Amino acid sequence: MHTINIGPIRVGGLLLPSNVLMAPLAGYTCYPFRMLAYELGAGLCFTEMCSANALKYEDRATNRLLITTSEEPVRAVQLLGGNPAVMERMAKSPFLEMFDIIDINMGCPVPNVFKSGEGSALMQDPKRAAAIIRGCKRSGKVVTVKCRVGIRENELFAAEFSRVCEDAGADMITIHGRSRSMMYDGEPHMEEIAHAKAAVSIPVIANGGIFSVEDAARMMRCTGADGIMVARCGLENPFIFGELTGKPCKKTALALLMEQMELTARYYDETFTLSYMKKLASYMMKKRKGTKRYKEQMYRSGSLDELREVIALIFADM
């Protein structure tokens, strides 16, 4: 067995049940998926990335990202924005009153986000980054930051940036081991996460390239991080949370998907439920042999009943 230091972790005034976190993923980490990850052993899950500007204009699609209930064990919202005043106003707003944690996105590498001075662009502007953290802290909530190891390969500065975040009042920092220019591919720079871990006293969570228990053990060993965050792997194999935390799950993949569909239909409309369930099922199909022939049929399903039938065929053996 790979020795991996998994257990509860304190973030600000909150004690999380485990140091295995689920990353915020656009299009996926809606309320039902977060509830599933918590059930399987995740210690913390985040909403999809919410734009502070869109929230300011009470955008309907953005409000949908904020669906949560008191059943959710810990409620964490990920906020994207580059204007300290707007970020502070939204952090204190009624929109976010249900949330315990505000995670500030300082890692998104997408060109239009970067160009507008948000996401990973904030790493180039430590003054503004610090002002945003301080503003969000005035909401009285726990504030965490997700960033990268740097912008370009030849200029990595995770330790310096982590110190900026800690000094501004961040309660935890999650570091994606790739630079902005690497986007989502390539070997993560674990040594940069290790430097950051040595530079600050707040918890440091390592993220990037974790697809198995072996990957997680290696990441923890090489970085000395206080915990790990999984992303796409959590969609392909939600059971990874139990594999990492030693929390057994007796449910089958089919049972999980059926429960997801029921929970999603309870809180969202049919269009959203169909689209989300098709995406989640296709992620979970990736490791299965002989299911490709069903994929087209699944994407053609026009109602929840049709979709239920196809999913039952694909995951019947499990």
3-state SS class at 18: coil
Partners of residue 50 on adjacent β-strands: 79
Query: What does each of the 318 residues of the chain score in pLDDT, given as a tens digit?
Result: 456 889 999 999 999 999 999 999 999 999 999 999 999 999 999 999 999 999 988 877 888 999 999 999 999 999 999 999 999 999 999 999 999 999 999 999 999 999 999 999 999 999 999 999 999 999 999 999 999 999 999 999 999 999 999 999 999 999 999 999 999 999 999 999 999 999 999 999 999 999 999 999 999 999 999 999 999 999 999 999 999 999 989 999 999 999 999 999 999 999 999 999 999 999 999 877 777 788 889 999 999 999 999 999 999 865
> What confidence score (pLDDT) does residue 205 get?
98
With CA atoms as reference, report the closest residue to 54 among 67, 66, 70, 71.
Answer: 66
Apex CA 186: angle with CA 235 and CA 233, to 5°? 10
Question: In the block, which residue shows the tokens 């662009």?
Answer: 121
This prediction has a pTM of 0.96
> What confidence score (pLDDT) does residue 1 get?
41
Which segments of the chain belong to CATH 3.20.20.70?
9-245
Counting DSSP H helices and E strands in the chain, the numbers are 15, 12
Residue pair 136/87 in contact (Cβ under 8 Å)? The answer is: yes
What is the rounded (10 degree) CA torsion for 269, 272, 274, 279?
-160
Residue 194: CB partners within 8 Å, gap ≥ 6? 222, 223, 224
> Which amino acid makes up residue 73?
P
How far apart are alpha carbons 277 and 168 in whole angstroms?
40
Just list the catalytic residues: 108
Question: In the block, which residue shows the tokens 């409620």?
Answer: 75
CATH architecture for residues 9-245: Alpha-Beta Barrel (3.20)
> Which amino acid makes up residue 227?
G
Beta-sheet strands, E only, within the chain = 9-11, 14-16, 20-22, 44-51, 76-80, 101-106, 142-148, 150-152, 155-156, 172-176, 204-207, 227-230
> What confidence score (pLDDT) does residue 3 get?
61
